[in-house]
């Protein structure tokens, strides 16, 4: 896998610009790129998505192979490294920020990217002054994990959604 998708990339796509009814090609493209090992996500992201009761939750359940496990030894070790980095930064962050971050899928995404050499795809934006919450790009930058957003991914992988009427 070359790219790992954050939950927000799928949620934003469904809710805004690539709604499943208006742009089914996007969702088919994701699955084709997954088969080609160009992109995927992880089980903790699937867990977040399937808490909902909507078409994205259904899509995630129907495409469970899109989401990779994170309980392998390498990912567990990388998670410990992510958690250690976050713990070191607690004094400058809002109270509870570390617990909130470590309870979600984000540290697992970063850990999986570290162990696979993948680029993380997120809509979060680098903000070195963030103190309210830990954000993926800040942690990625500190751990030399590459990241980009959905639109950069679409350009990189030369996505084309063509209407054939």
pLDDT tens-digit readout, 76-109: 999 999 999 999 999 999 999 999 999 999 999 9
Closest Cα to residue 107, out of 87, 130, 79? 79
Q: Which residues of the chain have pLDDT under 70?
A: 1
How many H-runs (helices) and E-runs (strands) does the chain carry?
9, 5
pLDDT of residue 158: 94
pLDDT of residue 1: 65
Specify the 3-state DSSP secondary structure of 2: coil
Per-domain residue ranges of the chain:
3-156
* Rounded Cα distance, 122 and 113, in Å: 12
Fold designation for 3-156: Rossmann fold (3.40.50)
* Predicted local distance difference test score (pLDDT) of residue 162: 85
The pTM (predicted TM-score) of the whole model is 0.94
């Amino acid at each position: 896998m070359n790219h790992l998708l954050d939950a927000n990339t799928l949620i934003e796509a469904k809710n805004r610009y690539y709604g499943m009814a208006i742009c089914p090609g996007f969702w088919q493209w994701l699955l084709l790129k997954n088969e080609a090992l160009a992109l995927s996500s992880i089980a903790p992201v699937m867990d977040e998505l399937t808490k909902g009761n909507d078409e994205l939750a259904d899509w995630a359940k129907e495409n469970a192979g899109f989401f990779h496990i994170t309980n392998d030894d390498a990912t567990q070790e990388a998670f410990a490294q992510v958690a250690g980095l976050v713990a070191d930064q607690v004094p400058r962050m809002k109270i509870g920020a570390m617990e909130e971050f470590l309870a979600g899928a984000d540290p697992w995404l970063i850990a999986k990217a570290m162990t696979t050499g993948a680029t993380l795809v997120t809509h979060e934006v680098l903000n070195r002054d963030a103190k309210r919450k830990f954000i993926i790009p800040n942690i990625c930058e500190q751990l030399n994990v590459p990241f980009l957003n959905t639109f950069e991914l679409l350009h990189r992988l030369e996505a084309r959604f063509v209407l054939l009427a």
